[in-house]
Structure 1
Amino acid sequence: MVKKLLSWLFKTADSLNENQPTDTEITILYGSHSGNSEFIARETARYFKMQGIEAGIKNMAHYTVSQLSSENTILIVVSTYGEGDPPPGTESFFKELEYTNMSLRHLQYSVCALGDSDYEHFCQAGKIVDQKLKELGAVPLLARKDCDLNFRDTATDWIKNVHRLYIKNKHSHNYQQDDCIKTGTSVEISDLSTPLNNHIKKQNPAVSIHSAHIINKVLLNPGSSSEIYHIEAKIDPETTHYRPGDTISVIPRNPSPIVKSILNHFRISPDYEVPFKGELSTAGELLQTQLEITTLSKNTIKAYANATNHKALKALLENENKLNYYIKQHDLFDLITDFPNGLKIEDFINIPEKIRPRYYSIASSQEKNPHELHLTVKQIRFHQRKRVYYGACSNHLSWLKKGEKFPFKLVPNEGFRLPSDPKIPVIMIGAGTGIAPFIGFLHHRSINNTNKNWLIFGEKTKNSDFLYNKQIIEWKRQGLLQHLDMAFSREPSTRQYVQDKILEKADLMVQWINEGARIYVCGSVRMGEGVKQAINHLPLNKPKDINRSSTILELLKYQGQYYEDLY
């Protein structure tokens, strides 16, 4: 039985590129946001190649559905983004797939879907592709595999079995749909005589939910308009293994003030019992731990409108701009007070969606602190409409006291890995809490005394918002940071953003890139767009064999020199 995962020590950015020969036997198509789908696709191609089978890799963002007509076997690895959406950049592929009626009876395929089971629409993007391909007549070589956050074992299982069935079909020339292994079936896999079993990391599903307890908490920005905390938690290194760049997923406890407000609205106590999913539960516990109440979604508003038949709310649903604004600015308590109704709690309790996990980049290195996991948490709390609004998880974590525990899941981020060779230069670009993974990176790089590190960090003001200032300045003094550039957007004399620093240091940036530097970007999507625009304006010479219409950013991605984690 396979107990280890395929060659996680290989780097995603290594050799296998997407300009494969057109005569490959198999095409592996990936749609990725964090990089995990791309990583699995590349490892699949690597494994097939070790078995003597050439497989081409294609990015779904640059692939059309019409190209399927020339494929014989296609393997699809795709993640789900947000509330059941396809990953950014793949929208045109999904739209074309939705409307096509081309026949794909000649095509055999298999789908490896990635998602997070804490979300309602788990692996939805993969399910959509799988269902549509079946409708078009394509035959599943292996039934779809749905991978949760701890995807290693499931992905390995999919890789090995899809290879086994491909070989079986190739030799028999009589492939039948009944050969397809049904989704969810437990499969015994005999060991293969390849490096596969020698380089795989052991994964224990029993510890997919980990536990940590608070050992220290430090306010990083005294005097700032929004509090940001550095939180240190103790973990069990025997069961919890993370790498720089990884994130964690936390299911929060909703803030007590909003829970109390909703209970008061319905004039019930926290212990009032209501039927929920076939069982009796207390309203207080459901609102605190099971339901999404600090944010709204279109589905929640639509369900509430249908239950109340509220005319003003139905009108809001028909105006997309006003609806999106309302969703961004309000929470569940606003919904029930802005659009009053006669619903009883028994009818209302099934309207909100399941509480969603929140994600935090890890700000530590386990090689340096084996028993610890560090986070950088911005507390979301603001006054509006004569009341206080709270973020769910940020307040939950920042309110925890020393010794208190919280459960979490590890979320591997294979698309945001440090180079395995510590001599390779690293450029880190982040703003706000986007500094978190870079603190972990620098702790990790300090182990090998690697000084080819450059940090470009942006925040509002120098005096109040320079996060980790003492640690960063000390790293600069020690020489761990060869270059440090700061951009403060609300300093009267020097209003700058991180993208301004990129252009200001363009010549040095090009020099580092030519030396093989890896660029890492972490922060908001808006910040990331500014950074990408700046990178595309760098005076970097393109190799002669590269399409001249390609952007600098596309070139860097192609060469494995650009990685991002945006939110």
Structure 2
Amino acid sequence: MITLELPRLAAAAGVVAAYAALCLRVRTSFRKRHGTAAAAGSGTVLVAYGSQSGLGRELAEEAVRALGAAGVGARLAALGELSAADLQTCGKALFVASTTGEGDPPDNAAAFVDRIMGGRPQLGALRYGLLALGDRSYARYCAFGRALDGWLRDCGAAALFERVEVDRADPAALETWRHRLASFAGLAEPNGAVAPVMGYWRVRASRHLNPGSAGQPVHHVELEAVAGPEADAASVALPRWEAGDLLQLVPPGADARPRDYSIASLPEDGAVHLLVRVIRGPDGEPGRMSSLLTGAGASGNVFQGRIRAHPNFRLGDNAARPLILVGNGTGLAGLLALLRQRARRGDGRNWLVFGERNAAHDGFHADELAALERADLLARCDRVFSRDGSSPEYVQHRLARAADTLREWVAGGAAIYVCGNAVGMGPAVHDTLAGILGAGRLAQLAAAGRYRRDIY
């Protein structure tokens, strides 16, 4: 599954990390000239983030480290954890605001939108900077970041610099953010961008999963970590990751933007497994990255990349709970990793609801799922094929038909994980869950980490 954070802007993390390193080098001389109170002020700076896939949080964490290197105290918090009083008393703040789907706030910002942005607290004492993450392929580009910026101004807060918007990994926008952050911390402008530090990943296998499908080809792709960019580079030990994490790969090219893929495997499987659908442009030509991962000559291709933690989709505190796993298409990858982790722990309290087109061609990993059922490691498996009946059925329809069972699972402590398309499946499943459980109850589950989404 490709996910964009919006989606997942790896280059940004590398840029800010490079900035933090610069801060470390200049901190001593800066303190001699200006003392320990940097331009950001002697008080603690609030660094707040709204993040769906984890990149917004990653950038916020890098900003905290950069401020610390400049001698500026900083407090990190998800937007949903904040109160109006937090904003009224912090003095200065940095906001990292991602937009998910068609203009929606991230799940960890939903409570902030409902509780705080519905009012107009007096924020005349607040000075702030804002980074908005988005994707121009969506109609409401950076909608949440723009809404947050407008709300802060309406409440009397003063922007220390104009909102910085990032379309995926636009290098110019990232450089602008880097300079704004440097100015905020009271440091001289850094000299140019530094590329993120990444390892190398080689395709060792690419297998077509759905020959004859009415949809675009989907491949099971396996990659190994290697020592360098050469096709015959030696293999190296895999880094560690958890179910729910992502592999970020950079296509060849000077200004290439990274792609994030949900990992279907665990380190014990010996490779990173992905599910990759061939993406075609308006001209019908396959996308560059999907071609390199799925084409006839894919095996042996080497990419720069890294494992990127995705805390919002890990098991975390839900490890001891029953799981309801809902997804479609290549979204099965993220759910499959969770199932594999549960199977290794012998926990079969898992219910999978997964949708594709036709059972005859689109039964991704059907043998593995059947084996989990036989071993009592998958309590229920609903495979929903939209084109096999007289009328289309999608995962949201299957959930509605199983409403009583879903309520029973949730009452018994189950957590819900949703992985798949943000335009069709994601909103439809969300609305169905809200109809079954009640919007208020679903919001409570999200706040407690029992409703988690990885939608793209």
Q: Aligned partners of 1:82 and 1:35: how far apart in 2?
A: 16
Give the letter aligned to residue 80 of structure 1.
Answer: L
Q: Is the 8 A contact 2:123 2:156 kept in 1?
A: no
C-alpha change, 1:245 and 1:208, in structure 2 (3 Å) is farther
Q: Deviations over 1:200-252 (max 9, x none)?
A: xxxxx998312111222221112213211001111266573332222233333
Unaligned runs of 5+ in 2: 1-19, 22-43, 62-73, 88-107, 227-235
Report the TM-score when normalising by structure 2: 0.66
Shift of 1:498: 0.3
Q: Deviations over 1:423-466 (max 9, x none)?
A: 21111111011111111112222221121111110000111011
C-alpha change, 1:183 and 1:564, in structure 2 (3 Å) is farther
Shift of 1:89: 3.9
1:312 — aligned with what?
Answer: none
Q: Is the 8 A contact 2:274 2:333 kept in 1?
A: yes
Give the letter aligned to residue 397 of structure 1.
Answer: L
Equivalent positions of 1:135-174 (< 5 A) are 145=181
Shift of 1:376: 0.6
C-alpha change, 1:566 and 1:355, in structure 2 (3 Å) is same
Question: Do residues 389 (structure 1) and 285 (structure 2) align?
Answer: yes
* Two-structure CA RMSD over aligned residues (Å): 4.2
Q: Aligned partners of 2:310 and 2:130: how far apart in 1?
A: 15
Question: Do residues 33 (structure 1) and 85 (structure 2) align?
Answer: no
Q: Aligned partners of 1:121 and 1:563: how far apart in 2?
A: 32
Question: Do residues 222 (structure 1) and 119 (structure 2) align?
Answer: no
Equivalent positions of 1:191-270 (< 5 A) are 208-225=197-214, 226-235=216-225, 238=237, 240-253=239-252
Q: Aligned partners of 1:454 and 1:470: how far apart in 2?
A: 16
Q: Aligned partners of 1:103 and 1:77: how far apart in 2?
A: 15
Question: Do residues 491 (structure 1) and 388 (structure 2) align?
Answer: yes
Q: Is the 8 A contact 2:247 2:261 kept in 1?
A: yes
Q: Aligned partners of 2:342 and 2:402: how far apart in 1?
A: 23
Give the letter aligned to residue 212 of structure 2.
Answer: G
Question: Do residues 380 (structure 1) and 279 (structure 2) align?
Answer: yes
Q: Aligned partners of 2:395 and 2:279: how far apart in 1?
A: 23
Equivalent positions of 1:32-111 (< 5 A) are 32-37=51-56, 44-45=76-77, 61-62=113-114, 63-64=116-117, 67=120, 69-70=122-123, 80-83=133-136, 87=142, 89-96=144-151, 100=154, 104=157
Shift of 1:495: 3.0
Q: Is the 8 A contact 1:457 1:485 kept in 2?
A: yes
Query: Per the alignment, in what secondary structure is the counterpart of residue 311 of structure 2?
Result: coil
Question: Do residues 554 (structure 1) and 448 (structure 2) align?
Answer: no
1:257 — aligned with what?
Answer: none
The structure 2 residue matched to 1:563, chosen from 449, 452, 455, is 452
Between Structure 1 and Structure 2, whose CA radius of gyration is higher? 1
- Of all paired residues, the percent bearing the same amino acid is 25
Query: Per the alignment, in what secondary structure is the counterpart of residue 285 of structure 2?
Result: strand
Shift of 1:559: 2.4
Give the letter aligned to residue 557 of structure 1.
Answer: A
Query: Per the alignment, in what secondary structure is the counterpart of residue 199 of structure 2?
Result: strand
Give the letter aligned to residue 33 of structure 1.
Answer: Q
Report the TM-score when normalising by structure 1: 0.54
1:326 — aligned with what?
Answer: none
Question: Do residues 474 (structure 1) and 363 (structure 2) align?
Answer: no
C-alpha change, 1:453 and 1:74, in structure 2 (3 Å) is farther
C-alpha change, 1:481 and 1:407, in structure 2 (3 Å) is same
Q: Is the 8 A contact 2:318 2:450 kept in 1?
A: no
C-alpha change, 1:82 and 1:379, in structure 2 (3 Å) is same
The structure 1 residue matched to 2:350, chosen from 448, 453, 457, is 453
C-alpha change, 1:521 and 1:113, in structure 2 (3 Å) is farther
Give the letter aligned to residue 259 of structure 2.
Answer: R
Q: How many residues align?
A: 359
C-alpha change, 1:358 and 1:45, in structure 2 (3 Å) is closer
Q: Aligned partners of 2:161 and 2:410: how far apart in 1?
A: 38
Give the letter aligned to residue 224 of structure 1.
Answer: S
Q: Is the 8 A contact 2:318 2:415 kept in 1?
A: no
C-alpha change, 1:31 and 1:510, in structure 2 (3 Å) is same
Q: Deviations over 1:61-100 (max 9, x none)?
A: 34449856347568878551224987554443234457x5
Equivalent positions of 1:483-562 (< 5 A) are 483-493=380-390, 495-525=392-422, 526-538=424-436, 540=437, 551-562=440-451
C-alpha change, 1:500 and 1:118, in structure 2 (3 Å) is same
